[in-house]
Amino acid sequence: KLMVILHGRGDSSHGFTFLPSYLNIDDMNYLLLDAPYDYYGGFSWYDLPPNQLKGIAYSSAVLADIFDTLFKKEFNAEESFLFGFSQGALLTFEFGARYEKVLAGYIAVSGYIYDPENLLIEMNPNVNTSNWLSTHGTYDDVLPFDTSSAQVAYLQDQGFDITFKSYPKTHSVAEDELQMIAEWIKTR
């Protein structure tokens, strides 16, 4: 089993080193990645609006190469998870929904979707039968709750099978949210 973890803008893989021990899932391997662009002492997956698309495309290509390599010999896609926070959550949607292989689960925390309409057109139709979880804070002061919840609702209305959960939090990861995510993963 494998979980690939994508951090948010300005952070690094180091920011999520707490997650494996917190989730405490037997026989799960973890790969914490650093985004490809330097950003004020941390890293970024893509540029700020309105210049995101080039970075999203590049980061998605980097992730495709990494995943292809991982799934050649060591791991199985159907036993692997993609976890992203903030910018990493956007990549979970933008890359995960288009990737040729179907994963065991996709977890997007406190993110948004670059272009929901285009995502539905370009997505791998097989990923819609898999497991998607999106969470967001109702007090998020970086990425507004209303925007993200409306985007997920749009995807759901168009037949995208995704679970959405809200939490009374800011742009962060909450303990009760992590407990729910750990249980959600264990049921997969």
Residues of the chain with pLDDT under 50: none
What are the pLDDT digits (tens) for 75-122?
999 999 999 999 999 999 999 999 999 999 999 999 999 999 999 999
Q: Is 67 exposed, middle or buried (0-12, 13-18, 19+ CB in 10 A)?
A: buried
pTM over 0.95: yes
